[in-house]
Every structure is written in structure tokens, then in C-alpha cells.
Amino acid sequence: MRRLVKSAWCVAVVAGIGIIDARAATAASTGLWCDWLRGEPARVHDDPDHPWLQSLRFHGKFQYQLGLVHGTDVDGADFRESYDDYRRLRIGLESTFLQVMNLKTTVNLVDDQRLEGGSLDWGFAGFHEALVGLDLGEVLGRGPFDEWRVDCGRHKFIAGQETRTSSDHLLTVERSAIIKKIYESARPTGVSITASRGRWIWSGAMFSSTQDGADNESLSGWQDGLVWLGSAARRMNDRLNLGVDLAWNNADARREDSFLSYRWATSWHGEYDAGQWGVRGDLIVGDNGGAAMHEDSVRRGAFHGFVLTPYRWIVGRKLQLVGLLAAGLFPGALHAGTITAHPSDAQHATNAAGTSAGAAGGVTNPIVFVGTNSYTGGYNTTMSHHVLPFQLPDLGSGSFSDVSVAFIVDQNSQLIPIDVNLFALPGTRANSVTLASDVNNGTQNHTQLGTLVKQAFLNSSSPGTTVSTGTGESAVLNAWLNDAYANGLNSGRFAFMRLSPTDLTTAAHNALGGPEDKDVGFNVRATRGVGNNDSFGPVLTYTFTPGAATASKPVISSFRTNRTTIGSNSSGATLSWTTSGATSLSINNDVGDVTGTTSRLVTPP
């Protein structure tokens, strides 16, 4: 049941029956049923002095839920949905034997996946817990502790205040999202040690990260990573309990099985119970890990949140009023965002040798032509380029990743395709006005000026729809955008990109056109031509991670020469280059330091 909801109300009826549970013996009521429970019928054996078996008790739990949801979704459509859910059917046993050992095992007997589009299955559905324990105090002596013990087998993963509370006694219908994030309903295989002294309780555990079986039904192997869990809690007084948990996962989830989806997490939690009222709380801090944990960079990085649950008993211990305040930020990436090219994008023209040919051309249609236009009986001698401003967002300190850019292009029978390069221009400006120097700055023409993002970005194979950069261009675009953003210093300023034909002059275009007098190039969807409706313009997408900006790796986007051969009596050749993310530049073979420059004349010795 997944629907984007604008408003809704819901009613849920939860029916739960604890069957043959010895804890019912503490119920302070009368009647045959309670008298029967008070007699602990599930405790089939209880003899502390028996040399082999001291106790044996069965227990169980059944929970069935009904729900009704009625509301309005974001499209304004009313909906009304009902559901039922066999939440739990468990049967287990607990036993103490050999005076120092104990066994605790519980099995699930129903698996209801109908809410997720699956089926309802009855029968064995996996172990809830399966533990064998040893009383170390009795075997090795109590030492500095009042009690200490070790348990081996399938555990319930405990992290956070809410996981320490049985579902029977939760203050809310479900555990909070941030708590589900860190404990993930996991039932790992491992070994744990628990010790207590006075008001203190400590525990430490080592688990296999492996999940065996499609439904994690059995004890797992140890072929993958390890998960470590440490906890400490103290009863400060009769009303206040405080504790802390720390989980560390050394499995690399992209190549190893891992029941946790994060690298580490910690919970600082507590409860204050004043009798008629109280409050429970959790403060969660953790990290999803990096590339070894998640292929999708949006899921990497830090997460944190808190849950605060105040409550008050209205009628004894029967009717309770509960509030919930929760907030969280996860995963670490703040968001994946988009920037549409500003409506000031424009067409610029160059003539022979790539020199500027006048001011920027107005865009009166929702397209910009890149290439050479035909005219009656021949071709123009000027070449058209598309310059696009992108306004940098205000996201605070942080860094960009997964940057890409997409254009909508028109390739039809009236156009002859050519190769068009995509460039990212250096620097930023306070306004969005494009300049002739964005195409030719006097020392560099359109084949050299800027960082080459992709050679032949548009070509004869380009589809007549959307053309985007890929992962191969991400490093160059990441470095360019981070340099332009300057860790937030340039928020609100404009960075520029350009589409330019690969050729320097129109001669090659004219040769392609022949006698047909067809335009040679591409129609590219512009922002300016659609006024305030910028939904069709070129779009830059990114992922932004808050915090200290990560240093971009130096990238050499292009390295060229204006000559293919050179003789001993030659006047030399000009080397030119475009780079990003570098603090210093040098060229070998005695050229030396070229920091701060983009070209150098070299001559034979």
C-alpha cells in the first residue's frame, strides 16, 4: 500500500493475545482464566535442585491487526483502503540445565507479506531467537561483577531505547524510522557477554554480518564481515535510566553480505518514569559509509536524528496519552538537485579562424542552432555556438558529486549532423549575461577555450531527444562545479558552459552540405525562448553533500599543439591545455613550470 498522501485519517485495531506466558502470573485480578495463568501451566518443570534439568517453560505470542485508511492524495483523489495483518505467531521454550546453562529459542509460525504484494504463509518462518547461554559467574567466579554470562546463537539486535522495549509495551504503534534504520529488525548470529554490578549493566557482542537463506531463517556462517556491538546502561535512581549503544560494521556491503546498511551508529538513550507521566528519548548519530558500502553516492555519508516520546497515564495503567517528536537527516547527502540553464542563454557567432562575429544573438524560438546555416545558393561564413549560464545554489559548505548535464536536441531530415564539443568555462560572474569572450577571449578560440567536458558530445549518432553526459564525464564536471562553487563562497553567482562545433571554420561544414543547402548542425532546446517556463531548457543535475568540501582531483581536459611536425629550423609550435583542480602545472622535457597559463611556445633545441 504505497500512495503519496496529502491528508488522511486512519483507524487501526490491534488484537494481541499472549498465550501461555508465565508472566501472566503477576496479573492482579480474579477469575478462572487468571487463576489458571497464575498457576503457570506453561512451566512444565521446575526443580532447582535437579542435577540435569532445573526448569522448562513454554511461551508464545499472537498478534493480529486490522486497519482502515481514508484520505486525499496529492492529485486530489480520495482513497479508502483497509487491511488486515497477521503480525506475529510465535512459540518458544526456555530451559535451565546443568545448573549453569540455559536455552532460549523462539520460532515464527506466520509470514504475512500481503501489504507488500506478497502472500500469507503459515508454518515455520524462521527463528526469532535461538540462544545457548553459560553463567560465567558460577563457572569462573563472579570477580568484579554481581553477574556475568555469555550467550551464543541467533540474537535479537539491540540498539536504541525502543529496541529494548517489547512490542507489547511500545508507546507507539510502530518503532520510529530512525530506530528502524539502526537496528533493521536484524537477527544476527554471534556471541555476546553481559555483566552487571550495582546499578550498571554492560554488554559486548560480535556478530557475523552474513545473512544465510532468502529469509534469514537459519544460523549464519562467518564467511563475510563482522559487526561489533557495545552497550552500557546505568539506573541513576528509581525514576531515571540512561544508556549508550555503539555498533560498528566492518563488512563492505557491495562485495560482502551485511545485515546492516551502514558503517557505524551510536544511540544515546534514556527514560524518566515519574509514575503518572514520563518520557523516553533517543539521540542517534551514524555514518552510512563510502563507496565500499553503497554504489549510489546519495546513500553515503552521515545520518543523525532524535526521538522524544512523552507520555501520561490517564486511567491507571490502562489508558495512556502519548506524544511523539522525531527528526532525522539521512543519508548523508543533503539532496540530489537540478539547475536549469538561466533564460539569458544565447547564441554567439564566430567567423574565419574562430574570431568573434558581433554581439550575442537573440533567441526568439525555443531553440538555439549550433553549426552553420545555409542560405540560397550556399552557406554562411559564420559559425554558431550556444553559451549557457547556470546559477549556483546556496547550499552552505559542502561538495558536489555525480554532476551531469542534459540537452534536448533536434536531429531531423533538414539537418546534417556534425561533431559538437561540450565545454565548461572557467570562473564565475555576478550576472548571467553571456559574452563574446565566452567563445574567443583573444588568445583562445572556441576549440581551446574552457575545460573540454566531452569531445563530440553531439554527433551523427546522437538521438533526436535528450543527450546527457555520463559517468565518464562526471570527474571533470565535479571538479568544475566545485571550483566554481568554492565551498559556498560563490553561491548565487553564475557558471557557464558552451556547445561549440569541433571545426574551427565553416569549410568542413560547407563540404558536408553540398548542393542541398541544408543546415549543418543541431537545434538545441534553449531556456530563453520559452520565457519563464524553463522546463525545457538544458538541465544540470548533481548530488550535494554538506560539510567540509572535498578537494577535487586535478583533471587534464585537453592538451594540444597547433602543429603535427616540427623541424630544426622551425619557428616552433604552440602547446595549449585546459585543466581543473590543480594548484600547480609543469611540463616535462625542459618546458618547466606553466602554472597560471594555458599555452606555451616551444622550439627545437
Task: Kindly report, residue by residue over 231-290, the tens digit of the pLDDT.
Answer: 999 999 999 999 999 999 998 877 788 899 899 999 999 999 998 999 999 999 998 887
User: pLDDT higher for 599 or 135?
Assistant: 135
Task: Kindly report, residue by residue over 307-324, the tens digit of the pLDDT.
Answer: 999 999 888 777 888 887
DSSP string, 311-348: EEEEETTTEEEE--EEEEE-SSS-EEEEEEPPTT-EEE
Q: Tell me what the mean pLDDT of segment 124-150 comes to.
A: 93
Task: Kindly report, residue by residue over 566-599, the tens digit of the pLDDT.
Answer: 777 667 888 888 777 677 788 888 888 888 788 8
Three-state SS string over 15-62 comes to EEECCCCHHHHHCCCCCHHHHHHHCCCCEEEECCCCCCEEEEEEEEEE
Where is average pLDDT lowest: 60-64, 88-92, 429-433, 502-506? 502-506
Cα separation of 307 and 371, whole Å? 59
- Other CB atoms within a 10 A radius of the CB of residue 271 amount to 17
Nearest CA-CA partner of 451 in 418, 484, 413, 407? 484
- Residue 536 amino acid letter: F
Q: Under a CB-based contact definition with an 8 Å cutoff, are residues 356 and 436 in contact? A: yes
Task: Kindly report, residue by residue over 547-565, the tens digit of the pLDDT.
Answer: 655 555 677 777 888 777 7
Say whether pLDDT at 168 is over 70: no
Nearest CA-CA partner of 501 in 375, 417, 414, 407? 417
Say whether pLDDT at 224 is over 90: no
Predicted local confidence at residue 316, as pLDDT: 77
Q: Which stretch of DSSP H or E encloses residue 477? A: helix 474-485
Cα separation of 599 and 577, whole Å? 6
Which is it for strands 586-587 and 592-593: parallel, antiparallel or unpaired?
Answer: antiparallel
Where is average pLDDT lowest: 40-44, 107-111, 537-541? 40-44
User: Can you give the pTM of this predicted structure?
Assistant: 0.54
User: pLDDT higher for 214 or 418?
Assistant: 418
The four Cα atoms 192, 193, 196, 200 give a dihedral, to 10 degrees, of -60
Say whether pLDDT at 25 is over 60: no
